[in-house]
């Protein structure tokens, strides 16, 4: 297998994490799009906040479950996903997801997208004044 791997440590626990495959990277973006669409159904501020927390938790669990599954492809990936959602604390999940994103090169994609969104929000007048 060509996938890079690392060991993630949290407290006294450790877990092997693999980078995502090319197909899993594409599926991750599909997962995010689906979760965003589901979260947009909330109309209240409290509902939107709760939906964003859930989106973050579920997308991180999705990443970590696939990274764990790549080390044991005989296991049921959905079972791993639900086990992570049920058993992992939020802090460990966030840290592990960040490691998977770095291993998979997704941290660059996310930062580049955030930069494009920021520049688009600035508008052309800010960009022109910066270059003058």
What are the DSSP calls for 105-120, one per residue?
THHHHHHHHHHHHHHH
pLDDT band at 5 (very low <50, low <70, confident <90, very high): very high
pLDDT reported for residue 27: 96
Query: Could you tell me if 60 and 69 are in contact, meaning their C-beta atoms sit under 8 angstroms apart?
Result: no
Task: Give the tens place of pLDDT for each residue, 75-130.
Answer: 999 999 999 999 999 999 999 999 999 999 988 655 555 556 556 665 554 444 44
Comparing 114 with 16, the larger pLDDT belongs to: 16
Query: Which residue ranges make up each domain of the chain?
Result: 5-114
pLDDT reported for residue 79: 98
Task: Give the tens place of pLDDT for each residue, 50-81.
Answer: 888 999 999 999 999 999 999 999 999 999 99
The position carrying tokens 């941290």 is 107
Residue 43 has pLDDT above 80, yes or no: no
pLDDT reported for residue 42: 74
pLDDT reported for residue 77: 97
Residue 14 has pLDDT above 90, yes or no: yes
Alpha-carbon distance 54 to 92, whole Å?
A: 15
């Amino acid at each position: 297998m060509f996938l890079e791997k690392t060991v993630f440590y949290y407290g006294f626990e450790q877990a092997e994490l693999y980078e995502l495959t090319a197909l899993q990277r594409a599926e991750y973006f599909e997962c995010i799009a689906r979760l965003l669409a589901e979260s947009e159904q909330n109309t209240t501020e409290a509902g939107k906040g709760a939906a964003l927390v859930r989106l973050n938790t579920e997308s991180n669990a999705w990443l970590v479950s696939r990274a764990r599954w790549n080390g044991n492809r005989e296991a049921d990936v959905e079972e791993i996903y639900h086990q992570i959602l049920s058993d992992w604390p939020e802090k460990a999940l966030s840290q592990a997801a960040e490691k998977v994103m770095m291993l998979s090169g997704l941290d660059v994609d996310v930062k580049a997208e955030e930069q494009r969104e920021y520049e688009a929000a600035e508008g052309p007048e800010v960009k022109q004044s910066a270059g003058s």
